[in-house]
A and B are shown apart, each in its own frame.
Chain A
Amino acid sequence: MPDLISILSHLFSLSAVLAIVAGIGAGLVVGFLPGLTANMAIALLLPVTFVMPPTPALLLLVSVYASAIYAGSFSAILLHTPGTSASAATVLDGFPLTRRGQSNRALRIATFSSMVGGAASALCLLFLAPPLSRISLWFGPAEYFFLALFGLSVIGSLSTGGVAKGLLSGALGLLFSTVGLDLDSGYPRFCFGFSDLHSGLEFVPAVIGLFSMSQALVMAEASHQSIRRKDISVIGRWRIFPRLREVKVIKTTVMRSSFFGILIGILPGAGADISSWVSYNEARRFSRRPWRFGKGSIEGIAASETANNANTGGALIPLLTLGIPGSPSAAVLLGALVMQGLVPGHEIFDRHASIIYTVIIGFFLANLLMGIAGMYATRHLSHITRLPNYILIPVIVFLSVIGAYSLSHSLVSVAMMLAFGFLGFLMRKINMSPAPMILGLILGPFAEKGFRQALILSGGDLIPYLLKSPISLILIALTFLSVGATVWFGIRKGPKPAQKKEKA
């Protein structure tokens, strides 16, 4: 590691500071706008960075990455429209708080958690990257299969409207995830002759549809109103930092979610979405107040937001050390590294040490700065919940369409988004949560691919192959615990008190 003085002098040069500030600004805007994902933010800035020197170029991109994931929570909390798909789990508890006029509380928890999660992942990246990167290699097909199963075990407990509806929603998600060309055989599955479906039902349009578009429809039903039910004026003083009391409630959740976020970040292919859902479920399982989840639990917000930001640093670990991106956004960053002539691998830390360490420390700083910038921005931004629905609805629909289109530059994605929007609306009418469906859509392909690859590699002797690694055994145990705990708590607590129906 080169000396600290030279790194700091690189970091506090004008170009580096400008890059971080610009990155945070761009990330906050893109993250806040529903549908514009962190991926896209990085991809849009990629060509800009080609003409920049490596240090500011990478600082710009990692700052955008961190702050876009963070800012996704703003619209998730304020409008029930996750700004990036990684914040979908934040909707479940963030929006109910907004409805009660406590958006400030939700936002400061989200900010605090994002900063801690992001900063923790940056520290891991700085000090532990080479050993941690080995984790990404331990996970073979069998381990991925069991990881996906573990994730899917959440479904039973995620269902707000009864277990049966939750399972149905999850099963539909799994079914949707099978649409498209089969990777192994090239067979078009459930495409019904539409070649546009060959790449499958895309995940991002599904999230935009199920959460954002369906929200616009729900709001359209109850016209001439605004989101916030209670007293319109901002309640109390705008607090930037969470209260000590709140920190005490969420501290274990934040620590646990940082762990899950970083771990899942390290795994190739599994991105911030999975981190956030897995942590959400674990927070609920270990919580002393599990009944508050889905109704405005600050632990729920903390779990989701800590994990999705912890994922960012985690995803950079195998990217820098092995050239294996730990998340879809990191895959775009790989393009940036390659274009800058920085070859990921062990030697990047020797040959380009001053660049890499400057970028990592800059990433750490960006995680702190984004929170400060975010809390000042949301102070004004949270007034949008006071806007009447006849303004908000068109804005949400407009952004949903833009978001879906910008992903693939094709109207097919927009059509998918609209279809999921109507589906989400109908589901919410019968009090069926869209969250299990999202989970099925994300995890289905992981489970299927893992299982089929294991089947091939085992040569037909499947069970010994699946059980040969300790990681698989741990994941199986966790899955049984997860399902068992859900059943146990369900029996012990007896029938839940009748749930109030929430309507916007």
Chain B
Amino acid sequence: MKKRVLGDLLFLCLFVVLFAVPVQADWPEKPVKLIVAYGAGGGSDITARLLAQGLEKVIGQPVVVVNMTGGAGWVGWGAIAGAKTDGYTIGYINVPNLFAGYLDSRIKRSENLGSFTLIMNHITDPCVWAVRADSPYKTLADLMGAIRKSPGQLSIAVHGNGGDDHLAYLDMERKAGIKMKVVHNNSTAISRAQLLGGHVDVLAANVCEVFQQHQSGELIVLGVMADRRSPFLPDVPTFRELGYDLAWASTRGIAAPAGLPDRIAARLSDALARVIESSEHRAKAGQLGLTLDVVYGAKYREMVQREEQHIKTLMGW
């Protein structure tokens, strides 16, 4: 009988430990799930795993990267939006890829930007145009001259309708009054093979995907679509310097479901800041060609809303 009581007591203690404590205590008290909407080994995944490594040390809890793929990204993003607002499920959202899913009227989706609490932008990877090392076009001016001379003859490989590469091309088409053959691929690796094999003339990509090949001379980056030159490509001019007023990038930032309590959002934001300010994180990101562009909370929301508006007008959504 006595044993039985002791057992019950133990069980009760266990129950209290398991369930009561987390309600009382403050975030973080258990492992945090970090959702990535794309597959393992890709750019978003590498970014996430880099962050997870640092975040684990700062919060003293495991940070588990979960690749939820499918639905053109929205299986993962939908899971972030639909998660409990306890701060234990966060994830990366990718701008501008996020927008097509709900702005495009052919796709009826209930979630939108309002479904997320935006915590922090992490990476802004500017769009670039690159050509082969033996290409006749050594500068953007050469290329633009050739495109204008024979409109619709030169080709460019981009990464899917409504993606950053494609939007950047459309903007360029409008602003510079040019016309090219546009080929869509589902991976930049294949686009790069098409460029190197001479099947297309121009590769639209992001800095981290080409800066090493530019350094080693395998291809030439003609221009960066950013406000200032990329530290990874100091010798490459921006499109603005060359007279084309545009800036496009693929950005990755941390979001949580809408309605995350401010207290948890603040703690999360502090923890993320400590990771990203660390010299270790900066060094590793630099090695990977990731352009850190840290923007918090309300500022981040403004930044994303600006892009949203930008794209609405460009795509006619």
Contacts and interface: CB of A to CB of B under 8 A. Distances in A.
Interface of A: 39-40, 42-43, 46-47, 50, 136-141, 180-188, 193, 195-199, 202, 268-269, 318, 322-325, 331-336, 338-339, 341, 343, 345-347, 407-410, 412-413, 449, 453, 456-457, 459
Contacts, number: 168
14 contacts: A39-B40, A43-B39, A180-B72, A187-B106, A196-B75, A198-B101, A323-B192, A331-B39, A331-B42, A332-B40, A334-B189, A345-B213, A345-B216, A410-B75
B290 to A, nearest CB: 10
A324 B100 CA distance: 28
B218 interface: yes
Contacts of A449: 185-186
Nearest to A200: B70
A336 to B, nearest CB: 7
Chain B, interface size category, equals 35 or more
A137 B41 CA distance: 22
Given A335-B46, A338-B46, A459 B153 contact: yes
B193 interface: yes
B193 A322 contact: yes
Interface in B158-206: 160-162, 181-187, 189-190, 192-194, 196-200
A200 B4 CA distance: 56
Contacts of B74: 195, 198
B295 interface: no
B139 interface: no
B46 A457 contact: no
A128 to B, nearest CB: 18
A410 B41 contact: no
A71 to B, nearest CB: 20
Nearest to B35: A409
Which 8 A-B pairs give the minimum distances between C-beta atoms?
A335-B41, A43-B40, A137-B197, A140-B199, A332-B41, A186-B161, A198-B72, A199-B70
Interface of B: 39-42, 45-46, 49-50, 52-53, 65-72, 74-75, 78-79, 100-101, 104, 106-109, 152-153, 155, 160-162, 181-187, 189-190, 192-194, 196-200, 212-213, 216, 218, 287-288
A195 B107 contact: yes
Contacts of A182: 161
Contacts of B104: 186
B194 A140 contact: yes
B75 A188 contact: no
Contact of A457 (B40, B65, B100, B181): B181
Contacts of B198: 137, 140
A138 to B, nearest CB: 6
Given A198-B70, A408-B69, A453 B213 contact: no
Contacts of B197: 136-140
A343 B41 contact: no
B189 A408 contact: no
Given A50-B53, A331-B41, A335-B46, A341 B181 contact: no
Contacts of B192: 322-324
A132 B109 CA distance: 46
Contacts of A180: 72
A134 B79 CA distance: 42
Given A324-B189, A457-B183, 19 more contacts: A50-B53, A136-B193, A136-B197, A139-B197, A141-B194, A195-B74, A196-B70, A196-B71, A198-B71, A318-B193, A335-B40, A335-B45, A335-B46, A336-B41, A343-B212, A345-B213, A408-B75, A410-B70, A412-B70
B132 to A, nearest CB: 10
A47 B189 contact: no
Contact of A183 (B52, B78, B160): B160
